[in-house]
Structures are given as C-alpha cells and as structure tokens.
Amino acid sequence: MAVTLPVGTKEYLIVDVTDALANLASLTGTNPRFTVKDENGALKYTDQAGSSSGMKAYCLVDTNNGGLWAAGIYRLYLRFDTSPEIPYLGPFEFEVSGE
C-alpha cells in the first residue's frame, strides 16, 4: 500500500492500467468508473465517473464524502468499457490516516 490520504482531503488516486494483449493504447472513450469500499465492505463510492489520460485512470476521492471517513484501509475497484470486454480491476488499497 503506497498511498495514504489524510482525513478531509480530496485527491486523485491514479491507477496505471496495463493491457497484457496490447490491444488498448489509451483509456480515452472507455468510460472509466470506480467503486470504493471500506474495510467492512461498505460502499463509499459506487460507479463514480473517473477520467483518463493515456493508460492512467484518475479517480477523485473525497474523504469528506458522506461525512468524514474513518481512518483505515479502503479498496478501490476500477472498471471501463473496451468492447466486447468490461474489465473490473482491483482492489487497489489505500489508507486514510486520522493524523
């Protein structure tokens, strides 16, 4: 786990996507969206729209969304459309720190 966000921050989490078959050169037009769950599996975000640049997905996480998030480990899941497939990637863990 490499990313730690302080409680009350609003920040992009960036997911580098790799296409093992080399069919996809950019996420442009793939409708990236993400879901975030807490340690207990409760949803913090569901199918939230993301953005992209090249093969990077940008997921804007606001740790004030729905009230201040508790310190702990969260899991981000990313999906996008690349017909005929709809990959569901993750979990990508990040931490929210109370300090």
Per residue in 25-47, pLDDT (tens digit) is 899 999 999 999 999 999 999 99
Integer Cα distance of 19 and 91 in angstroms: 17
Per residue in 67-87, pLDDT (tens digit) is 889 999 999 999 999 888 889
Structural tokens at position 35: 């879901």
CATH of residue 65's domain is 2.60.40.10
DSSP, res 30: S
How many residues make up the chain in this entry? 99
Please count the structural domains in the chain. 1
Domain that holds residue 64: 4-19+27-97
pLDDT band for 1, please (50, 70, 90 cuts). low
pTM above 0.95, yes or no: no
